[in-house]
């Protein structure tokens, strides 16, 4: 390699490091790592294992040959999530166990005196021929092995698989190390966000302690709201904000006197006025927002009982005058209330609920929100069945 | 430069990138950036500006000569936080404005046909001689200039200041770019954490909506708790967890009936029993914790009314049987209650409070916690005066 080539390669490596570092979405990050490492080595295929406890979890895979031949769906199908033990018997396990690089020129001619072996089942099933392999440990800045990067079939000009070059080992090792730190960072960000979400759920549930609204109701309506927002085409950040903000929609119930909140009989007109004020009390509790999430939760607290036809409360505004987040949460909240068991009622049959929602399309509910809800009904039901009482 | 040297330098650069990426504490990160860049260029001094809005904020500075001659305190004193406008008139502003590197061989011989100039006030005041300067823009992965790195006096073997080398420019530029992304990440992490903290405060205040405990009380007692925890020698993570968890200590009040919570007169024995149950209700609300913060807040909710002598509630445990977090929050909570105005009472005079705390040392309060509280009293009072009604 000339000095110029070396410099170019190193600069590229630093550039990749920077781009990995700035990707905070774990899934996108993993896929970027594999594609950058493949591009660097002209590898036809590549995959990535992440260490979780004492196992390697297979996370991501790319295979140009299968995708070009059978399409992206087949490529995806070919790789299901599985785990491998960390020991010397399987290739990735060996690398994670020993911290050594494995540069295998021909997977079908592995010397017999080594402990690891290559399984041919994948090749047979997908009519693929694994030849050369480069398996690299991913070591973070504290020397911990956090995963294994696996590259397959380094291709020459005419598409012929040749062994990975010795000098590629160090470059990919360095990239894998940058990747390991980026993965740690992405996980850390996810952990902090998860803790925040859990706190919101926890405290939103606490706020309805006397009302006996359950954590599951709050989680479901938060997920439903996120599904609808996503279906409407909003970006990930906004969808996440809706997911975080919607659990606080009824926070204002904290301010409703026990004699009304806990009254076992029907509320009279005056009591109902007080009860309705949970929307504006919520707006008061969440005023002067110090984060996007609190700002959004305030909007939702104030508007989730408005109706599209203007017959809701507290302001009786209608149509697009109602903030979209309020229109989304309104439907998510009602759907969950109707489909859940409550102390005073059985869950409604699904058909009765969908009929009501269709009838209220353009009346209680925003027609677009109803449409998106129906388009994504399968996913909605999946959430319903996942967070079950 | 030989190929070997180049390779070594690039490897070092990648290593630095990794170490920057894994530092999430913004202040430590900034100081690492400056010291690594100085080490790379043998620079006697260095500092860093961060772009905030349309200004550059001076963040960090290191100066070996001043530190060795006058001590670390003088070094610190020499650099107070200040801002510079982003325009072509000052050096850092010029770099941030144009995105150009400035490599100045002699600060006292800047050609007259350029727009920027070097101010000599610092040199005069601290008896320092700035000779060579290297000013590098910090550009993140999206091409945004996020700051300026400034290196001063590249030293030769015998301590003589020489101009920065042309080839150092690209290397430092690359490092600055890695640093920019690392700074963005650290800021992002801080922002997410801040949003989480704000949500906790917001919802903890909401929980005491009827009780009219203020956001300021909750913030103060959370900060006091953190100061005590830090004073006891706990690490940053634990101190942060105490700060995040302590606001939820009274969350169980949500479960206390209005007739008792809001009773204007003294509670009778049976009512008091119910009132005391806010500790165990808190424990119930926060059970099965899904994060360290919730786990800690549960411990605090359950134990912040225990007394060191065993005369507290709900369990009447004593001494080290009371979780330390509960012992810390107990003092923080009482100190703030006594020193604040409440609808039914004036704030106590400071001396009366400190006398009471001394008297209760070993009785109501853990003696060690009292000692640490007193050792850090100045900082406690700073918080009290910062979060004022």
Mean per-residue pLDDT pooled into runs of 10, chain B (389 residues): 80 85 87 93 95 92 91 80 90 95 94 86 88 95 93 91 92 90 89 92 85 83 97 95 95 93 92 96 93 96 98 97 98 95 87 97 98 97 89
**Chain A from 175 to 194: CB within 8 A of any B CB:** 177-178, 181-182, 184-185, 188-189, 192-194
pLDDT tens, position by position, A193-202:
999 999 999 8
pLDDT band at A10 (very low <50, low <70, confident <90, very high): confident
- Candidates B178, B206, B292; nearest CB to A254: B206
**What number is the average pLDDT over the span A229-257?**
95
B346: Cα separation from own chain's centroid: 33
The pLDDT > 90 percentage for chain A reads: 68
Beta carbons within 8 Å of A225's beta carbon, 6+ residues apart:
A242, A243, A246, A325, A328, A329, A332
According to DSSP H, which parts of B232-312 are helical?
Answer: 236-245, 258-261, 269-276, 278-285, 292-303
Is the pLDDT at A312 greater than 90, yes or no? yes
Whether A22 sits inside 8 A of B185 (CB atoms) is yes
B89 catalytic? Reply is no
At A82 the pLDDT is 86
Q: Are B314 and B305 in contact (CB under 8 A)?
A: yes
At B77 the pLDDT is 77
Model pTM? 0.85
Residue whose pair of structure tokens reads 């225990």 in the numeric block: B306
Q: In terms of C-beta density within 10 A (0-12 exposed, 13-18 middle, 19 or more buried), how is residue B306 classed? A: buried
Is the pLDDT at A367 greater than 90, yes or no? yes
Q: Which CATH architecture has domain A208-386?
A: Orthogonal Bundle (1.10)
Q: How far B112 CA lies from chain A's nearest CA (Å)?
A: 36
Contact B28/A at CB under 8 A: no
How far apart CA B297 and CA B250 sit, in angstroms, is: 10
At A205 the pLDDT is 86
Q: Point out the least confidently predicted range of A276-290, A318-332, B78-92, B223-237.
A: B78-92
Beta carbons within 8 Å of A142's beta carbon, 6+ residues apart:
B22
Closest A-chain CA to B200: A199
Is the pLDDT at A370 greater than 70, yes or no? yes
Q: Give B21's contacts in chain A (Cβ within 8 Å).
A: 17, 21, 141, 178, 181-182, 185
pLDDT band at A213 (very low <50, low <70, confident <90, very high): low
Q: Are A95 and A148 in contact (CB under 8 A)?
A: yes
Question: Where in chain B are the domains?
Answer: 3-186, 208-386
Is the pLDDT at A334 greater than 70, yes or no? yes
At B212 the pLDDT is 66
Closest B-chain CA to A187: B189
Is the pLDDT at A94 greater than 80, yes or no? yes
**What number is the average pLDDT over the span A269-277?**
96
- Candidates A22, A182, A290; nearest CB to B198: A290
Residues of A marked as catalytic: 253
Whether B202 sits inside 8 A of A285 (CB atoms) is yes
Instruction: Find the radius of gyration of the CA atoms of chain A.
Output: 27
Q: For residues A212 and B225, which has the higher predicted lDDT (pLDDT)?
A: B225
Q: Which CATH architecture has domain B3-186?
A: 2-Layer Sandwich (3.30)
Whether B199 sits inside 8 A of A200 (CB atoms) is yes
Closest B-chain CA to A177: B18
User: Torsion angle, CA of A14/A18/A23/A24, rounded to 10 degrees?
Assistant: 110
DSSP H or E run through B46: strand B43-52
Question: Comparing C-alpha atoms, which of B349, B361, B299 is closest to residue B329?
Answer: B299
What is the predicted ipTM? 0.83
Q: Give A205's contacts in chain B (Cβ within 8 Å).
A: 285
**What number is the average pLDDT over the span A226-245?**
96
At B5 the pLDDT is 81
At A15 the pLDDT is 85
Q: Are A126 and A157 in contact (CB under 8 A)?
A: no
Q: Give B251's contacts in chain A (Cβ within 8 Å).
A: 203, 206
Q: Are A43 and A153 in contact (CB under 8 A)?
A: yes
Contact B209/A at CB under 8 A: yes
Q: Determine the 3-state secondary structure of B147 from DSSP.
A: strand
**What number is the average pLDDT over the span A198-214?**
83
Q: Give A14's contacts in chain B (Cβ within 8 Å).
A: 10, 13-14, 17, 174, 177-178
Contact B259/A at CB under 8 A: yes
Contact A207/B at CB under 8 A: yes
Q: What is the mean pLDDT of chain A?
A: 92
Which of B1, B15, B18 to probe by mutation at the A interface, max A CB count within 10 Å?
B18
Q: Are B6 and A6 in contact (CB under 8 A)?
A: yes
Token representation of residue B325: 């977090």
How far apart CA B237 and CA B331 sit, in angstroms, is: 21
Closest B-chain CA to A24: B185
Secondary structure (H, E, C), chain A? CCHHHHHHHHHHHHHHHHHHHCCCCHHHHHHHHHHHHHHHHCEEEEEEEEEECCEEEEEEEEEHHHHHHHCHHHHHHHCCCCEEECCCCEHHHHHHHHCCCEEECCCCCCCCCCCCECCCHHHHHHCCCCCCEEEEEEECCCCCEEEEEEEEEEECCCCCEECCCHHHHHHHHHHHHHHHHHHHHHHHHHHHHHHHHHHHHHHHHHHCCCCCCCHHHHHHHHHHHHHHHHHCCCCHHHHHHHHHHHHHHHHHHHHCCHHHHCCCCCCCHHHHHHHHCHHHHHHHHCCCCCCHHHHHHHHHHHHCCCCCCCCCCCCCCCHHHCCHHHHHHHHHHHHHHHHCCECCECCCCHHHHHHHHHHCECCCECHHHHHHHHHCHHHHHHHHHHCCC
At B25 the pLDDT is 87
Whether B21 sits inside 8 A of A178 (CB atoms) is yes
First to last CA, chain A: 64
At B159 the pLDDT is 85
**What number is the average pLDDT over the span A321-332?**
98
Cross-strand bridge partners of residue B49: B58, B148
């Amino acid at each position: 390699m000339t000095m110029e080539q070396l410099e170019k390669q190193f600069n590229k490596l630093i550039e990749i490091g920077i781009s990995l570092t700035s990707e905070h979405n774990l899934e996108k990050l993993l896929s970027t790592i594999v594609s950058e490492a493949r591009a660097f080595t002209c590898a036809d295929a590549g995959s990535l294992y992440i260490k979780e406890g004492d196992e390697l979890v297979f996370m991501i895979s790319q295979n140009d040959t299968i995708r070009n031949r059978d399409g992206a769906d087949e490529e995806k199908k070919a790789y299901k999530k599985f785990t491998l033990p960390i020991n010397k018997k399987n290739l990735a396990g060996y690398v994670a166990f020993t911290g050594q690089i494995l540069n295998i020129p021909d997977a079908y001619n592995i010397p017999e005196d080594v402990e690891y072996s290559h399984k041919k089942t994948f090749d047979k099933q997908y009519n693929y021929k694994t030849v050369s392999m480069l398996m690299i440990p991913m070591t973070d800045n504290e020397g911990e092995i956090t995963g294994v990067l696996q590259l397959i079939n380094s291709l020459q000009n005419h598409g012929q698989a040749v062994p990975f070059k010795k000098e590629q080992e160090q470059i990919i090792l360095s990239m894998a190390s940058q990747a390991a730190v980026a993965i740690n960072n992405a996980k850390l960000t996810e952990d902090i966000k998860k803790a925040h979400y859990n706190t919101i759920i926890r405290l939103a549930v606490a706020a309805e302690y006397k009302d006996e609204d359950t954590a599951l109701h709050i989680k479901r309506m938060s997920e439903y709201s996120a599904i609808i927002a996503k279906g409407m085409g909003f970006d990930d950040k906004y969808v996440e904000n809706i997911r975080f903000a919607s659990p606080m929609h009824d926070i204002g119930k904290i301010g409703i006197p026990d004699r009304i909140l806990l009254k076992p009989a029907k509320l009279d007109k005056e009591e109902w006025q007080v009860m309705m004020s949970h929307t504006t009390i919520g707006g008061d509790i969440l005023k002067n927002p110090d984060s996007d999430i609190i700002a959004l939760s305030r909007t939702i607290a104030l508007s989730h009982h408005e109706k599209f036809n203007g017959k809701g409360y507290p302001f009786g505004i209608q149509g697009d005058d109602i903030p979209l987040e309020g229109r989304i949460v309104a439907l998510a909240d009602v759907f969950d209330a109707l489909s859940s068991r409550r102390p005073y009622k059985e869950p409604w049959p699904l058909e009765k609920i969908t009929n009501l929602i269709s009838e209220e399309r353009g009346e209680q509910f925003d027609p677009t929100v109803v449409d998106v809800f129906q388009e994504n009904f399968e996913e909605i039901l999946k959430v319903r069945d996942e967070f079950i009482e």
